[in-house]
Amino acid sequence: MRAGKYSFKELFVNRYVDQLIVPEIQRDYVWQEDQLLGFLSSIAEEFRKCQDADIPEIDVDTRSDSGALLQKDFEEFFRKRNFSANIGFIYAYSDEQYQGRYFLIDGQQRITSLFLLLLVLASRCDQEETFTKYYCREGHPLLDYRVRDATSHFLSAIVEMLLENPEVEIEDQAWYLDAYNEDVSIRTMLSNLKSISSWLESAKLSEMEFFDYVQNHTEFWYFDTNISAQGENLYIYLNARGEQVQSNENLKAELLSHIPTDSQKNDWGKRWEHWQDLFWRHRKLGAKQGSLNADKGFNGFIFCIAALKQYLMGDREYIVSEKRGGRKTPVSVLSNMLDLDDIEKYVKALEFLDDHRAEFQALYSYSDWVDKCLIELWSIWNQDATDWFIDYRRPETFSPETNRMVLAWGVLHWVVSALDSEVDLEQLYRNLRPFYLRFHNYVRAAQQVKDSVENLLKDGFVTRDESHEEYERESWLRAIGGAEKRREAESILWELEDHPLNLDGSDVGAINITHLVKFDADLSIDKVRSIRDAFLRCFPDDSSNNKELQSLLLHYGDYWQRKTPWYYENYKFDDWKSIIRGAPILGKPQNDIFRHFLSDLIESGKDVSTMLALKREQYSPNPSAADLRSQLLWYNHFLRESMWSQGNSIAIGDGSENPPDEVFPHKKVFRSTKGDFKGGNPRKLSEMLPAEAQTNERR
């Protein structure tokens, strides 16, 4: 049988093929329901596209028999060419001693699933003769399992039985042996037959048309290895997950081709499958719409560690991606960069993080960030949107890639180095934290990963810059006596840092904690706890809906942020990421306005609403106020939180010749806006005033 593209039917209706056999050395049929249904749904999606296709008409007279036939043939050709479901590559080998028998070494999960699907469809659509004609010979299915004799007997029995009676209970039959319950392939077939029937009930397909589509429009590329003696060993490195062969499979074949003995190939092949299983279990973490394909994540990981190794070696020879776009690094380059020991080393690092994190987390009252950090990692690989071979020394050009490198390279290199150096478990996990924070701060300095890890191994500091908050935090923690007290303090710091407004330090100096906490000799665990509790009273979540806090901070200073456009005064009052850090306005420091307020909140023990009420009681409105904060306070005193009803920005003017403000005539009109005049419903503050304020104004 020649290599080429075939439909499912063409694989069986082939003069060279007498039987397609799953050999003894292959693994069992093991596809679980989510794998099966993902596979079937992808085929059904292509089937629906085929049904809905707009078929062009050719220039023939369709009123004649020949013209109508020609148009029909063209439609079939058009659908087959444009709307077939490609299920990837199928590999097999043949043997001169067994003429007509082809032994599957890759594709058995897909082939078996399609065989069972057609069997169920045939029994539901009265197509028993069609199924028997194409997929059986002399009463036996052309697909045969040699994993165990029991599997072969079972498959023959269910084909005959289901074609006669689709409603039969297979496990109640006299021929069904108790031993079948111990056979993995049989159990999976039984389960998947039921899943297929249930799926068909809910899919609402035209089952007869779907039966024809699966036979004639489900296509794959067939490759005959044409090796008999070594064919069974090839399954080790060609056994994919049931999808089109991907880069990791090609790399697998390339790397294993250099292994000298069959027993070593078999050993490494089993390890490779174990690695694939790891990525299969994590395939949905961070993947868009929950991937049913493990290859994408494994591919992303392979390219990641190949580029990491290159970076650690300082070797630029293999970099081929000088612009963001397509990954062009060929398998031959990867095989020169990586060996099987490299892959195993980094996979073991991932497994260690998975296997021991509960042990680490049990030491701390708060450590949710560890799970989130690992999800971020898997997300990077599962989305596989990173070109790992860009020039990491150019973060200004390749910022998304280099930011991901900071996390992925940092964590992998740190864990491998820590395991090699026998760093204790607690320190190993604690020192993931700097890379996690840098990732969320959008730090792009991937070239610092090596030095950071060396610093961690040498003295436990990721940086030697004593002014950096990473250094300040760690120094303060080390000064705490006793492991339990240190863990208590660190748990509080982590929880405070992990609030979304603190964790995201991008564009605000990569600061996560020192805008709230000053690491000096006066700082105690109780004080850190009080800061955390007060901060969470202000921001119980990451919502920007903090209108009372916006009003309250007016009593403390000019905390707002001026934003574009610049042709009028446009002030934003809920840019909390900048506000809580006291970011300057046009270069002018804000004098720690938020920290001053937070200190008052802590000392009072009150909540935001109570403090605001007290400030309002103490305030005396002054309609002749000259400075902006006093004017805003005047409006806020009368409008309360309705001042922010149209949005959390205040515009003064709109860039045109405005009339003066009715309250403060030396200023242009004050308006409540969502941030600009491109939408929403901007309103003049003066028109929103209650009668009480208008009387006050006249006075």
Residues 6+ apart with CB under 8 A from 6: 14, 219, 220, 222
pLDDT: is 473 or 317 the higher one?
473
Residue 319 has pLDDT above 60, yes or no: no
Q: What is the CA radius of gyration of the chain?
A: 34
Question: What integer pLDDT is reported at residue 232 of this predicted model?
Answer: 40
Residue 472 has pLDDT above 90, yes or no: yes
Amino acid (1-letter code) at residue 41: S
Give the per-residue pLDDT at 246: 47
pLDDT at 699: 47
Tell me: pLDDT of 4 over 90.
Answer: no
Helix axes 340-361, 262-281, angle to 10 degrees: 40
Structure confidence at residue 696 (pLDDT): 56
> Is 477's pLDDT higher than 90?
yes
Mean pLDDT of 193-213: 93
pLDDT of residue 225: 60
The more confidently predicted of residues 304 and 106 is 304
Counting runs of H as helices and runs of E as strands, what totals does the chain give?
30, 13
Closest CA to 24 of 106, 183, 145, 115: 145
What pTM, to 2 d.p., does this model score? 0.67
Q: Identify the burial level of 196 via C-beta atoms within 10 angstroms of its C-beta, where 0-12 means exposed, 13-18 middle and 19 or more buried.
A: buried
The CA distance from 365 to 495, in Å, is: 10
* Residue pLDDT, tens place only, 329-347: 555 567 778 899 999 999 9
- Count of other CB atoms within 10 angstroms of residue 339: 13
User: Do 100 and 19 touch, CB atoms closer than 8 A?
Assistant: yes
Q: Residues 447, 308: contact at Cβ < 8 Å?
A: no
Note the pLDDT tens digit of each residue in 347-405: 999 999 999 999 999 999 999 999 999 999 999 999 888 888 888 887 777 788 899 99
pLDDT at position 656, please? 85
Q: What percentage of the chain reaches a pLDDT higher than 90? A: 50
pLDDT of residue 322 exceeding 50: no
Angle at 101 (CA atoms; ends 97, 105), nearest 5 degrees? 105
Residue 658 DSSP one-character state: P
- The listed range with the strongest mean pLDDT (356-365, 544-553, 645-654) is 356-365
Q: What is the pLDDT of residues 662-696, one digit of tens each?
A: 999 999 999 999 988 887 889 999 999 998 776 55
User: Residue 24 has what pLDDT?
Assistant: 65
In DSSP terms, 141 is beta-bridged to 136
Centroid of chain to Cα 122: 39
Q: Would you list the DSSP string of 517-562?
A: ---STT--HHHHHHHHHHHHHH-SSS-S--HHHHHHHTTT----EE
Q: Which of 299, 305, 288, 234 is nearest to 26 (CA)?
A: 234
pLDDT of residue 39: 87
Between these two residues, 451 and 246, which has the higher pLDDT value? 451
Backbone angles phi, psi at 211, to 5 degrees: -55, -45
* Residue 453: per-residue pLDDT: 97
Check pLDDT > 80 for residue 527: yes
Average pLDDT, the chain: 85
* pLDDT of the residue at 588: 59
Query: How does pLDDT run across 421-462, given as a tens digit for each residue?
Result: 999 999 999 999 999 999 999 999 999 999 999 999 999 999
Residue, of 25 and 328, whose pLDDT is higher: 25
| Count of Cβ atoms closer than 10 Å to residue 78 Cβ | 16
Is the pLDDT score of 542 beyond 70?
no
Structure tokens at 650: 């205040």
pLDDT at 240: 34
pLDDT tens readout for residues 89-118:
787 877 666 677 888 877 888 899 999 999
Task: Pick the more confident residue, 433 or 276.
Answer: 433
3-state secondary structure of 313: helix
pLDDT single digits (tens) 18-46: 888 887 666 678 888 888 988 898 899 88
2-6, 248-252, 342-346, 636-640: segment of lowest average pLDDT: 248-252
pLDDT, residue 694, reads 65
Assign 289 a pLDDT band (cuts: 50, 70, 90): low
Name which residue leads in pLDDT, 67 or 407.
407
Sketch the domain layout of the chain as residue ranges. 4-245, 247-446, 465-542, 547-698
Q: What is the pLDDT of residue 290?
A: 47
Q: Quick one: which of 227, 268, 405, 397 has its CA closest to 322?
A: 397
| Mean pLDDT value of segment 233-256 | 52
